[in-house]
Structure 1
Amino acid sequence: MVAYQYILFDLDDTLFDFPADRALALALEHYSVTLTPELLADYQQLNQALWQQYNQGNIDAQTLKSERFRELAPMAGTDPLTLNSRFLQAILQCSQPLSGVEQTLQQLHGRVGLGIITNGFADVQHARLKQSGLARFFDFVVVSEEEGVTKPDPRIFHNALSRMPAVSANDVLMVGDNPGTDVAGGAASGMETCWFNLWRQDKTVAATHIIEEFAELLVLPRVKALLPA
């Protein structure tokens, strides 16, 4: 069995939790605003629509940051970008690596190249990796905001491949929770894919592998081939 040469990971809901509801409540609390279920539902609907546009390349990161808080910011007596910054600070405060992530990365580190491709925002993604201590495991981090292109666009995967000297795409595994960005994007770039079905969704996804616990990554044949017998 030929082992992978590189394993790439998504970040949000793959390596880290993304406690958006709690972070939004904390951000609004700073301005003495209570996050009601109705306000949360309205925000989630708007934010999801904007992220879909961002992932499709129809809007840029700055527009997403501003537009998702266009309704909440006036209630808080501030501007949308300031509220967005407060929200991202709260994400950094609340977010933790998911179960099994650090232990799995420790076993893989030094045996295979490791990288990250994330559509998240650069400052908070780099800060979470550094704060958690996970940054030491990775050879590189590709962030859509810095690259000017988002998953599933093949260009961001090709940008990652360009950082792996003499590595073929079919010797790379892309691991992520999002079938539309991580799995579809990785597959379209010639990589094998692993859908991390964190939320135990009952749906069909055309991934090379499917796992429900992060540590299950270690039993995939081309990953297991990396480890001591």
Structure 2
Amino acid sequence: MDDLTNDEIILAGLGEVDGRRGRSSRMSRVRNAVKSEIGASRFRRHFLDRVHKLPRSLQQDLIRGKAQISDAPYYATAELKGTRSELIKLSTSEKLGETNIDNGKLNKDRYLTLSGIRLLFDKDSMEGCFTDPFPADLLNGEWELELNGQKVFEKQPIRKFFDGFYGYNTIKPFGLYILNNPKIIHPQTPIEFNVNLPSEVQGYLKVFLEGTSVYSF
């Protein structure tokens, strides 16, 4: 992802505009200037809308060009076991191909604006392609996301990941659910992602936490 433009910094409320005269008209011009870019990038807009919630020191680093923003995703893979499976958990260390979330936490300097969650299924292998259709008992299950031990998404239908295949939002990527209420995840916050199923399903799931990551350098 490209660095923030000067116009985007002002739009996000990070920049200073000298003098009161013309401030309103300038802000209007700024909004119009970036309108098309923001409209074309929902995840970037989510970040801009919430950048004021980041620590002030990190906001200043963004203004000075001393902070980096980039596309995430973070991912984790797990075998389905019984009717409840934990895909992101504190006891799982980072391992190439399986997860880049070390012990269920982001790196100590990383902030994530979580804009979407993607869920994929493979019926045969942890190292599979993860392009298989969901069986009925998986589609009819639920998922939950916990941050620091508190449920921020609870009893969410797994079927929502596949709205695009049932006549709604057909242009979205396979298995992607875009959050109506994006969340900022702070560094070292414990993250847990679990699925609950009506009946046992054999196979493997891969979950992606997608959005915008930011950190100072």
Q: Which has the larger radius of gyration?
A: 2
- Bigger fraction of residues in helix: 1
The interval holding the TM-score normalised by the smaller chain is under 0.3
Greater RCO, 1 or 2 (C-alpha within 8 Å, sep 6+)? 2
- Bigger fraction of residues in strand: 2
